[in-house]
């Protein structure tokens, strides 16, 4: 968007069951790596890369941003991300991953394939946005609230959580203005710290 001096790179990834869950995460990581390697050619700044996604895309953004091994395979430190912004992403092990591994839909799992497993004090700034817990997928808002709380417990200095009242899982329209304000706040903080 030239009005706001923001570029958006939309990516796709292999879907389960056509690929393994590991391949879905790797697809997301290699897409982020591509952006890092090419953004300067397109007039962007590799120090100002935010990753986001909705639902499964939010899960993938959180996995790529928090589990450092995925970007490390591409010689990128996940901590160089300017921010991680999952929209209604699953913070426990994703239900499709659980299903592929033989668990039922109602069996919560938290392991290395859940973003919550990778909470870190030194992670990039983190913004979680979900719909109203009464309208969202069962447990989705609560998982995100727990993620926000645990990031604060480990001492992460920049985690923010919004629950959008009156919105269900398709809450992106209500989330975009929050994302834009938050990104601008992060960019302003980066500019302030650069000038000191």
Residues 50-80: pLDDT tens digits?
Answer: 999 999 999 999 999 999 999 999 999 999 9
Look at residues 18, 53, 15, 55 and name the one whose alpha carbon lies nearest to residue 32: 53
Q: What's the token pair of residue 40?
A: 């300067």
Q: What's the token pair of residue 183?
A: 């990104």
Does residue 16 lie in a domain region?
Answer: yes
Does residue 46 lie in a domain region?
Answer: yes
Does residue 192 lie in a domain region?
Answer: no
Does residue 163 lie in a domain region?
Answer: no
* Angstrom distance (rounded) from CA 64 to CA 154: 19
Q: How many domains does the chain have?
A: 1
Judging by DSSP bridges, how do beta strands 126-131 and 159-164 pair with one another? Answer: parallel
Does residue 172 lie in a domain region?
Answer: no
pLDDT at 36: 97
Does residue 9 lie in a domain region?
Answer: yes
pLDDT at 62: 98
What lies within 8 Å, CB to CB, of 54 at 6+ separation is 87, 88, 89, 172
Look at residues 83, 80, 172, 169 and name the one whose alpha carbon lies nearest to residue 133: 169
What lies within 8 Å, CB to CB, of 196 at 6+ separation is none
What DSSP character marks residue 51? E
Does residue 191 lie in a domain region?
Answer: no
Lowest mean pLDDT among 16-20, 68-72, 88-92, 151-155: 16-20
Tell the residue number behind the tokens 């962007």, with chain if given.
44
Look at residues 159, 160, 109, 166 and name the one whose alpha carbon lies nearest to residue 139: 109
Average confidence score pLDDT of the chain: 91
pLDDT at 1: 46
pTM: 0.92
Does residue 162 lie in a domain region?
Answer: no
CATH value at residue 99: 3.40.50.1820
Look at residues 165, 178, 133, 126 and name the one whose alpha carbon lies nearest to residue 149: 126
- Domain range for residue 97? 1-136+144-155
């Amino acid at each position: 968007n030239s009005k706001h001096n923001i570029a958006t790179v939309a990516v796709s990834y292999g879907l389960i069951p056509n690929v393994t869950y590991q391949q879905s995460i790797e697809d997301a990581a290699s897409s982020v790596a591509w952006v890092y390697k090419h953004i300067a050619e397109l007039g962007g700044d590799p120090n100002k890369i935010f990753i986001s996604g909705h639902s499964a895309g939010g899960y993938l953004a959180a996995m790529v941003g928090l589990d450092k091994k995925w970007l490390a395979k591409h010689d990128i430190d996940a901590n160089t991300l300017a921010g991680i912004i999952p929209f209604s992403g699953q913070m426990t092990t994703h239900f499709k991953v659980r299903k592929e591994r033989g668990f039922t839909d109602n069996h919560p799992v938290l392991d290395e394939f859940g973003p919550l497993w990778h909470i870190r004090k030194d992670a990039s700034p983190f913004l979680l946005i979900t719909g109203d817990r009464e309208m969202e997928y069962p447990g989705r808002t609560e998982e995100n609230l727990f993620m926000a709380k645990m990031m604060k417990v480990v001492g992460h200095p920049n985690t923010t959580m919004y629950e959008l009242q009156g919105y269900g899982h398709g809450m992106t329209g209500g989330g975009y203005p929050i994302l834009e304000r938050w990104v601008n706040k992060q960019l302003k903080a980066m500019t302030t710290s650069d000038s000191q």
